[in-house]
Amino acid sequence: MLGVPYLLRSELRATCEVCKAQFDPGVGGYCLRCNRLLCERHFHGGRWQRLWRSVRGTTVCRECGPTPDSLR
Ligand SMILES: [Zn+2]
Ligand SMILES: [Zn+2]
């Protein structure tokens, strides 16, 4: 598994590929569609979107997946 060395560190910190911020992998997400590891803000878009996605089991980021608004 080359290419994701940041996941192998003893202290689990991931780097957002959008804002380059270090974050806890547990609060962010890995988008299976654009293959990016994103922080909570860039993956989910916000607290409510995160809650919604956790219910839906979404594994794509907010840019690739449907938004709650689009499903109305
Ligand atoms: Zn970010
Ligand atoms: Zn994506």
Q: 37 CA to middle of ligand 1, Å?
A: 9
Q: 49 CA to middle of ligand 2, Å?
A: 14
> When comparing pLDDT for 27 and 32, which is higher?
32
Where are any strands of DSSP class E within 1-44? 14-15, 22-23, 29-31, 36-38
> When comparing pLDDT for 56 and 31, which is higher?
31
Ligand nearest, relative to CA of residue 36: 2
Torsion of CA 60, 64, 70, 72, to 10 degrees: -20
**How does pLDDT run across 9-31, given as a tens digit for each residue?**
556 789 999 999 999 887 888 89
Q: 42 CA to middle of ligand 1, Å?
A: 5
pTM of the model: 0.65
Helix (H, G, I), strand (E, B) or coil at 58: coil
Region of 66 please: left (phi>0), alpha (psi -120 to 50) or beta.
beta
**pLDDT at residue number 34:** 94
Q: 33 CA to middle of ligand 2, Å?
A: 5
